[in-house]
Structure 1
Amino acid sequence: MYIKKSIMKYKIKLSKRFACHTNSSSSFYFRGHFFINDDLYEGSKAISYLQNNLNSIPENGSFLAIVIIDDNLKIISDKSGSMIAYYYLDDDYFIVSDKVKNILKIYHNYKFIDNNLDEFKVAGFVTENDTLIDRIRSVGTGQILTYNKKNNLLELKNYFEYIPNQFDESNINKLISSHNSIVDRVFYRLKKYCSNKQIIVPLSGGLDSRLIVHELKRNGFSNVICFSYGKNNNKESLISKKIADKLGFKWFFVEYSNKIWNEVFKTSDFKNYFFSADNFQALPHIQDFPAVNYLIKNNIIDNNAIFIPGHTGDFIAGGHILPIFENKHINEDQLVDLIIQKHFRVNQFKSIPIKSQEHIKSKIYSSIKKMYDRKINPAFIYDWYDWKERQQKHVLHSLRVYDYFNYDWYLPLWDSELIHFWREIPLDKKINKKLYKEYLESIDNYDIFSNTKQFYKKNKFRLYLEKFHIIRIIITMRRKLISIKNKIKKYLLDYYLHPLQWYGMFSYHKVLSIYMFQNIYSILAEYYISTIKENCD
């Protein structure tokens, strides 16, 4: 909480997706939807609810709400961070927008923050509420910002955190039964939202999108199109087709090649998307772009279709928690290192200046210290950090592709009931998604989850080793022993054989010229930063 000097004006600059209602004393802006007792609220109905329940925060939905009454302004972001608001304030302006570029039309004399540029290079996003630009900040996942013009008071609070409150110690059969009932209600709400509209599912070989299509089939959805993409006959797409065929859903494959990516990269459509979806905070998500563009241009999907991705059952079910947390206490310094290894790997962490490395470590330490002070298990702090950073700024950032093409989307696996259920599951049932996999096996009406137990058995020895850091030590030693020649060989294979073929956006020489590059996002981060700095100059 802090106090600013007198602010002369405030401006609200939002995209056309927002419903609004204004009068002489109040303004309400809303995008998205929420449910109250399974009753759907969106558009003007959602605004009416907010008008009549000024102190209430909708419990379940994907939304961004901005409320102005007299001297008070309030911004509410949902529990997944599916939509983000940005704000700028100085002595003259308080500006709010869902697009940073709208703020920059008013705030001309902006400057980039060097530490944040380096953070972006290694993470692909800027952490906390920061952006690449000085004085422009965001309202993050599960947060509410309030501002009072009269006393110049600005406050940013967390109204929800993905941290356990009270563990559910029920036996595994009861937990599976409870989860099954919740999923039934989730898809009941989905049916209310979608009505009879066409549903589009990006169907990979992963468990989450399988769960989506399984439940669509079980709940009687028939107007469903599944799609996959990548290099011809890539493993993910072959699994995807097999699942769609079993369920009787239409399936389309969009071929990716180095040539196709090179052509897409040069189009004005791609560049417009790439430099509009970023909001100077997170690298745009690109892998769905050519596929969605293809489906639209070839009239495969309806104009009012709704995309239903599988984000992010893998995460909420514990799939990102490392086995080492199960039997070893992790102190703050160790947790900082584990977070860096997980989230700061777009480019090698050591490729940025030591000053920036220390700045990032300091931000992480400051962020997690309050959780250690609350005696939170380090495993759940690790998960919490993932929830508020990577899930919002990388995984759910993929929704901006659908936004760009003016398509709606829905996130069944981010339903509030599911979030609250998984938040309270004990660690031993989340490690390696133990409960999630057993649940999937128990509901497998169409024989599409039959191999999950096999995967679990195969990984047991590896999990045992990971607990004692043996795998990590071996990997570290191996990396140190790899010669430059072998690294170049790896890059060559990745460039031509990667299942998404996306290195074709750049020449092979360009790819190799990026110092310590790790993947396609290494090159895209360099390209993005150099371009925005050039345009700024």
Structure 2
Amino acid sequence: MNNNRIQINILHGKREGNVFLRGTLFDGPQKLDFSESAKRMALLPKEDAGELLSRTNGFFSAVSSDGRSGWMAVDRLRTMPLFYGTRNDTLFISDSARWVLEKIEEREMDPIARQEFLLTGYVTGPDTLFSRVKQVQAGELVRFRADDDGSIVLEPQRYFRYLHHDYLREDEASLRKRLDDMLLPTFRRMLEYVAGRTIVVPLSGGYDSRLIVLMLKRMEYENVVAFSYGRPGNQEAETSKQVAEQLGIRWEFVPYSDEEWYQWYRSPEMQAYFEYADGLCSLPHIQDWPAVMALKREGRIPEDSVFVPGHSADLPAGSRSKTFPDLYRGENDPETLVSAITRYHYSLFAYKEGDRSPFSARERILKVLGDPAQYPDAASAFESWDITERQPKFIVNSLRVYEHWGYAWWIPFWDTEFMAYWQRIPPERRLNQNLYIGYVNDLAKEMGVAVEEKVPPRPSFKKTPFVVGIKTALRITLRTLLLAHLYVNRLRKHDHLSLWGCFTNQWIAAIFNKQQQSINGAFALSRIILLDEELNSATKNKR
């Protein structure tokens, strides 16, 4: 009998027949109810799974099993992760990576995955920090069956990759009109999902969240709350407040301080969030965790609110071109591409290919990229890698914050129609985000919002001359206490979110020995240390 050889533990979502489903699906403008969605998913074994899933809009994860065989799938962005692993002749599937880990009884982190996590904040491909715990990748369907010879057969199929194709060689006015024509149905779908509830927008100083509130105002949706957070008076929050006031949107602010972060970071509530959010493969996002907590506990937003963050219109619109313009001007050398991905993504700690053997960023990158012939240019390959890895596991995984506090969410800029539009925009039109920023600025003027020449950049301190000089001096003088003290104080002063408050001065100075290069590097190292402690504790309890 095979009934016990496929064990499924889905903590979120509902079941109909053999299908476990979480999420919301659309067919064109029509929102499908749960029963219709489950019926559609049940057709996967009978139809071309890739074609059916590719034309399905919305955000979901699904598992189907008859006890002997079945399949599991996630949407294009892996917004609702699934994990699986095998032990002996049994397959374990769950939306909880820790449940799978417990069942397969693995007790040591994979050294390659561990190195990658420290450099990027996530683990690429189907891997996690544990070699026998796997994850369903963005845009992937995994078929499985339990054979009579005792083996578990797994057949993964990527039904979606973000690939550019059929470039639109039109003037900017025509492309802007197409963008406008696409945004309207995209936001109508979101409003269909929201169904009159309060929309809560994390409104920063950037263009993405600004476009969300502009579109909501344009569509005359009034049940909107915007919020910001951080040190009182920080520039991001001030810009956020100005935009909200000009649009007549209620604006909330949650102040942060170093002292509060030190307590929040060590609280049992946040430790529980870490276990929920990390999936044993991702660095949990925390920067708006206290803000959402405050909004909830102080009754500033309704319990049934829907959070709508700006993830991540800037990426398909060409934001990476500011760092790597040559990729968007026809550069197609594969090694230049790999170098760009390494520099941008494998950057939480200092890294040079070959210095952390047997780990190789180049090998990990090429494994994800696959056949280079499928990309029309290097810019397409660069964005595809980002949308396959960093977006699902680092950026979009921040949605776990809203779920932790009991709220729903929607991310309109990962609507399939939005993605399809940018897949046809040539790289020269994505260069410096000119097409996108021009559209947002014109819409802002139309809606009566004053447009700055340039959105204030998010504070970055790690590459200023002061920091470079201090780093050099620290290495030369073995990081004397005086220089370490100066460095730490400077970090805290320029941290508009007070995130460095999570750590003591001694710890911040100590991690400099490891050539840590950003706040996320500090958090990644902290997570690995805590996971080690968790594993050691579990091992002792087993004895």
Same fold (TM over 0.5): yes
Matched, 1:384 2:384: yes
What is the CA-CA distance between 1:350 and the residue it aligns to? 4.7
What is the CA-CA distance between 1:441 and the residue it aligns to? 2.9
1:7/1:149 contact within 8 Å kept? no
2:329/2:428 contact within 8 Å kept? no
Matched, 1:96 2:96: no
Q: What residue in structure 1 maps to residue 430 of structure 2?
A: 430
2:107/2:535 contact within 8 Å kept? no
What is the CA-CA distance between 1:391 and the residue it aligns to? 0.5
Matched, 1:20 2:20: no
What is the CA-CA distance between 1:139 and the residue it aligns to? 0.8
Give runs of aligned pairs for residues 2-401 of structure 1, distance below 5 A: 9-15=5-11, 17-22=12-17, 27-51=18-42, 54-55=46-47, 56-57=52-53, 59-69=56-66, 71-150=68-147, 152-321=152-321, 322-327=324-329, 329-350=331-352, 354-357=356-359, 359-368=360-369, 370-371=371-372, 373-374=373-374, 376-401=376-401
CA–CA separation in structure 2 for the residues paired with 1:341 and 1:308:
30
What is the CA-CA distance between 1:327 and the residue it aligns to? 3.6
CA–CA separation in structure 2 for the residues paired with 1:370 and 1:479:
39
Q: Which segment is superposed worse, 140-149 or 439-448?
A: 439-448
Q: What residue in structure 1 maps to residue 522 of structure 2?
A: 523
- Structure 1 letter corresponding to 2:534: N
Give runs of aligned pairs for residues 447-526 of structure 1, distance below 5 A: 447-448=448-449, 450-451=451-452, 454-455=453-454, 483-485=472-474, 488=484, 489-514=486-511, 515-526=514-525
What is the CA-CA distance between 1:328 and the residue it aligns to? 5.3
What is the CA-CA distance between 1:524 and the residue it aligns to? 1.5
1:32/1:42 contact within 8 Å kept? no
| Closer/same/farther in 2, CA of residues 50 and 109 from structure 1, 3 Å limit | closer
Q: Secondary structure at the match of 1:439?
A: helix
CA–CA separation in structure 1 for the residues paired with 2:358 and 2:237:
40
What is the CA-CA distance between 1:175 and the residue it aligns to? 1.2
Structure 1 gap ranges (5+): 1-5, 460-473
CA–CA separation in structure 1 for the residues paired with 2:292 and 2:390:
23
Cα offsets for 1:221-243 (capped at 9, x unmatched): 11111100001100000000001
Q: What residue in structure 2 maps to residue 471 of structure 1?
A: none
CA–CA separation in structure 2 for the residues paired with 1:505 and 1:370:
42
1:312/1:413 contact within 8 Å kept? yes
1:145/1:155 contact within 8 Å kept? yes
CA–CA separation in structure 2 for the residues paired with 1:274 and 1:374:
37
- Structure 1 letter corresponding to 2:31: L
Cα offsets for 1:241-279 (capped at 9, x unmatched): 001101111101100110111121121111111222101
CA–CA separation in structure 2 for the residues paired with 1:263 and 1:520:
18
1:197/1:223 contact within 8 Å kept? yes
Cα offsets for 1:433-482 (capped at 9, x unmatched): 1111122233232243733xx349x99xxxxxxxxxxxxxx999x95996
User: How high is the TM-score relative to the length of structure 1?
Assistant: 0.89
Q: Secondary structure at the match of 1:300?
A: coil
Q: Which segment is superposed worse, 304-313 or 527-536?
A: 527-536
Cα offsets for 1:49-80 (capped at 9, x unmatched): 32356533252111111122464311121112
Query: In the comparison of the two structures, how many residue pairs are matched?
Result: 507
What is the CA-CA distance between 1:12 and the residue it aligns to? 0.7
CA–CA separation in structure 1 for the residues paired with 2:355 and 2:488:
24
CA–CA separation in structure 1 for the residues paired with 2:136 and 2:207:
31
| Closer/same/farther in 2, CA of residues 447 and 353 from structure 1, 3 Å limit | same
Q: What residue in structure 1 maps to residue 531 of structure 2?
A: 532
Q: What residue in structure 1 maps to residue 408 of structure 2?
A: 408
| Closer/same/farther in 2, CA of residues 263 and 19 from structure 1, 3 Å limit | same
Which stretches of structure 1, 4 residues or more, deviate above 6 A after TM superposition?
A: none
CA–CA separation in structure 2 for the residues paired with 1:327 and 1:424:
16
CA–CA separation in structure 2 for the residues paired with 1:253 and 1:482:
35
Alignment RMSD: 2.5
User: How high is the TM-score relative to the length of structure 2?
Assistant: 0.88
Q: Which segment is superposed worse, 252-261 or 322-331?
A: 322-331
